[in-house]
């Protein structure tokens, strides 16, 4: 009886964790899209930095390698947008994934793709340029000393 109960519990937990991170089709994502979805897909630099300090997010810079090499945020992981589907193993499904590029166009594409793959994902609304602008002076000092 104990074996059956333990086996049943393992199956239920496995099914539950799969269901929480279940892939969805783009069509279903669009059909279920609402005002709550719209708010949930976005994050601002200030909120991102708080969650980075709490180790609750993973920042993915989806720019091309040349762009990343010319300037980058040392706490971001560079996975260029065209390479994203082949590098999902670099993403931590236990964290919120935040996609970012200089503005937000590619970040939104990456966010949408990752959402269909079952990730808890947001895009950086003010982009990497906004993040760089925010991380000046005292804000940079405070963030780095908390990190």
Phi then psi for 25, rounded to 5 degrees? -75, 155
Pick the CATH number of 24-146 from 3.40.50.1980, 3.40.190.10, 3.40.50.720, 3.40.250.10: 3.40.250.10
| Structure confidence by residue, pLDDT tens digits, 114-131 | 999 999 999 999 999 999
The predicted pLDDT at position 147 comes to 81
The predicted pLDDT at position 22 comes to 84
Mean pLDDT of 73-94: 97
Strands 57-61 and 77-78, by their bridges, are parallel
Query: Does the pTM of the predicted model rise above 0.85?
Result: no
In the predicted model, what is the mean pLDDT of the chain?
A: 88
Give me the count of residues in the chain: 147
| Structure confidence by residue, pLDDT tens digits, 5-60 | 434 433 333 333 343 468 999 999 999 999 999 999 999 999 999 999 999 999 99
**Domain boundaries of the chain, sorted by first residue:** 24-146
């Amino acid at each position: 009886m104990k074996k059956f109960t333990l086996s049943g519990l393992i199956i239920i937990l496995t099914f539950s964790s799969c269901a929480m991170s279940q892939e969805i089709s783009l069509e279903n994502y669009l059909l279920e899209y609402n005002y709550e979805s719209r708010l949930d897909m976005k994050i601002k630099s200030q909120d991102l930095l708080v969650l980075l300090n709490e180790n609750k997010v993973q920042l993915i810079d989806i720019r091309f390698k040349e762009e990343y090499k010319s300037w980058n945020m040392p706490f971001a992981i560079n996975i260029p947008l065209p390479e994203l589907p082949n590098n999902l193993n670099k993403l931590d499904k236990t964290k919120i994934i935040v996609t970012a590029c200089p503005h937000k166009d590619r970040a939104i594409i990456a966010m949408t793709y990752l959402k269909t793959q079952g990730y808890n994902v947001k895009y950086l609304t003010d982009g990497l340029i906004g993040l760089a602008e925010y991380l000046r002076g005292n804000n940079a000092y405070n963030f780095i000393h908390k990190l």
